[in-house]
Structure 1
Amino acid sequence: MSRALLIIDVQNDFTEGGALGVDGGAAVAAAITRHLRSHPDLYDVVIASRDWHDEDNDNGGHFAKPDAEPDFVATWPPHCVAGTDGAEYHPAIDTGLIDIHVRKGQGVPAYSIFEGTTDDGRPLPAALDALGVTEVDVVGIATDYCVRASALDALGSGREVRVLRDLVAGVAAESSEAALHEIAQAGGRVEVAGRS
C-alpha cells in the first residue's frame, strides 16, 4: 500500500496571464511546493500531469476551429501546445520534487490524468498499479474540470481519494464547489492540507 500526490495541470496557460488562466493558479502552484517541502515523507510518489496538445490539429475537436468562437464547454482556445511556454509547469512548482511526469491530450481531448501516459510510455493506471498506489491526494488546476475528472477516475479505479481544497484553483466558484460536492458524493474526501 502506498500513497501518491497527483498534481494536475499546474501550467503557465492555466495560471494568471495564460491562455486559460485561472485566478489563484500561481498561488496554488506555490502552495503545492510548500506542502511538499513541509511534508517530505507524506507521499511515496509524486506524479504531475500536463496538457500537451498537438500544434497542427484541433486535438480531436478540443480546440475551436480558427473561424469559430470556443464554447468553453467542449471547445477551447488553443492552450498548452507541446513545446511552448504555456505548456510548461508554472515556475513556482519545484519540478525536482516530481517523480513521474504525465502528458495528456496529445491529439485528443483529455481532462483526467488517468487519460495520460508517463514519460516512459505507460498509461497512468499501470504505473500506479506497479507502485502499489492505493491512496491518492489530488491537487492542482482546475477544480471544476481536470481536478474533478482526475479525482473521479481515481475513485473509479478503486483508490482512496482526497482532494486538498486549499491546493486547488477553479474556473468559477459555483462550479468548483459543485465539483467538490460531486467528488465527496462519489466517495472521495475533501479536506484542507494543513489539517490532514
Structure 2
Amino acid sequence: MGKALFIIDVQNDFTEGGALGVDGGAAVAAAITEHLRAHADDYTIILASRDWHDRDNDNGGHFATDAEPDFVTTWPVHCVAGTNGAEYHPALDTTRVQYHIRKGQGVPAYSIFEGRTEAGSSVHNLLDEHGIDTVDVAGIATDYCVRASALDALNHGQRVRVLTALVAGVAAESSEAALAELAHAGAELV
C-alpha cells in the first residue's frame, strides 16, 4: 500500500502578517519545503489544501460580515479565491505537489476531505485510486484544519502520522489539546 502527505493550508493569510496569521507559519512553510527535499520520494502522492473562499458572500456564515468574529465558527475575511492571501506562502515549494485541493467555496470547511481538485476529484477518491493506507499530515493550523484533516483521515481508515515539527497552531493550549485528541483517536505524533 502507499503513503500520502497532506500539506494543510500553508497560505499567506495563515502565516505572519496575514488576515489570520499564525506565529511560526512561515517557519513551517520553510520546514515543509526541506521535508519535501529530503523525503518526497517516500510518498506515493502529495496533496496540498488551500482555503479558497468566495469573494461575493459570507461563505455560509464562515465570514463575520455583520458582527465581530467569534473565532470559533465565524472569522474575519480570509483566503479569498484569487487574492494574495489565498496563495501558498512563498517559502513553500509546491513543485512536488501532485494534487491541489480547494476547500470552503461558499461554505465553511476545515478538513482537506471537504475540498476537491480543480478537476473535481475528492480526497477520498484520490486515496483509493492510489492505494493509500498511511497519511502524514503537516501544515496550519494544528488546532483547526490540521486537526480536522487528521481526524477525517482516521475516520476514512488511514494510518495517520502528524509531523509535529511541521505544524503551527493558533494557540499553544488549543494546539496541545488537538494533538492529545489526535493521539487518543489513534494518530501517531512524530
Cα deviation, 1:64-122, whole Å, max 9, x if unaligned, reads 02x31000000000000000000000001111111110000000000000000012101
What secondary structure sits across from 2:67 in the alignment? Answer: coil
Conservation of the 8 A alpha-carbon contact between 2:40 and 2:96? no
Whole-angstrom distance in 2 between the partners of 1:126 and 1:9: 20
> Map of 1:28-47 to 2, 5 A cutoff?
28-47=28-47
Q: Which runs of 5+ in 2 are unaligned?
A: none
Look up the match of 1:27: 27
How high is the TM-score relative to the length of structure 2?
A: 0.99
Which amino acid in 1 is paired with 2:122? P
Deviation at 1:12, TM superposition (A): 0.2
Q: Is the 8 A contact 1:100 1:119 kept in 2?
A: no
Alignment of 1:16-165 (within 5 A): 16-65=16-65, 67-165=66-164
Aligned mates of 2:38, 2:9 — CA distance in 1? 21
Q: Distance in 1 between matches of 2:163 and 2:35?
A: 11
Structure 2 distance, partners of 1:52, 1:4, is 22
Aligned length: 190
CA shift, 1:156, in A, is 0.1
Q: Secondary structure at the match of 1:185?
A: helix
- Counterpart AA for 1:176: S
Deviation of 1:63 after TM superposition, in Å, equals 0.3
Deviation for aligned residue 1:123: 1.4
| Deviations 1:123-165 (CA, angstroms, capped at 9, x unpaired) | 1101111111110000000000000000000000000000000
* CA distance in 2: counterparts of 1:120 and 1:174, whole angstroms: 38
SS at match of 1:184: helix
Q: Distance in 2 between matches of 1:183 and 1:76?
A: 24
Offset at residue 44 of structure 1 (A): 1.1
CA–CA separation in structure 1 for the residues paired with 2:173 and 2:42:
31
**Unpaired stretches in structure 1, ≥5 consecutive residues:** 192-196
2:40 alignment partner, SS class: coil
- Which whole-Å CA distance do the structure 2 matches of 1:93 and 1:109 have between them? 24
Aligned to 1:194: none
RMSD: 0.6
Please report how far the alpha carbon of residue 173 of structure 1 lies from its aligned counterpart in structure 2 after TM superposition.
0.4
SS at match of 2:22: coil
1:45 partner letter: I
Following TM superposition, by how much is the alpha carbon of 1:183 offset from its aligned partner in structure 2, in angstroms? 0.4
Contact residue 15 and residue 22 of structure 1 kept, 8 A: yes
Kindly indicate whether the alpha-carbon contact (under 8 Å) linking 2:139 and 2:146 is maintained by their aligned counterparts in 1.
Answer: yes
Between the aligned partners of 1:166 and 1:28, the Cα distance in structure 2 is 8
2:163 counterpart SS class: strand
SS class of match (2:55):
coil
Distance, in Å, in 1 between the alignment partners of 2:127 and 2:40 is: 20
